[in-house]
Amino acid sequence: MQKTYSGGCACGAIRYEITGEPVAMLDCQCRQCQRDSGTGHQSHLQFVGAQMTSVGAVSNWQSIGDGGTVKRRGFCPACGSPVYLTFPAMPEVLIVTPSSLDDPAIFSPTHVTWSSSGHAWDHLNPALPQFDKMPI
SS3 label, residue 33: helix
Q: How far is the CB of 21 from Zn ion (least distance, A)?
A: 22
- DSSP-derived letter for residue 32 is H
Q: Which residues contact 68 (CB under 8 A, 6 or more apart)?
A: none
Task: Kindly tell me which residue out of 5, 7, 9, 98 binds Zn ion, with binding defined by CB under 5 A.
Answer: 9
Per-residue x/- mask for Zn ion, residues 61 to 80, rule CB under 5 A?
Answer: ---------------x-xx-
Count residues binding Zn ion (CB under 5 A): 9
Distances (CA, A) of 65 to 6, 11, 79, 100, 108: 27, 28, 24, 22, 24
Q: How far is the CB of 20 from Zn ion (least distance, A)?
A: 22
Task: Kindly tell me which residue out of 5, 16, 18, 33 binds Zn ion, with binding defined by CB under 5 A.
Answer: 33
What is the radius of gyration, based on Cα positions, of the chain? Answer: 14
Q: Which residues here bind Zn ion, judged by CB under 5 A?
A: 9, 11, 13, 28, 30, 33, 76, 78-79
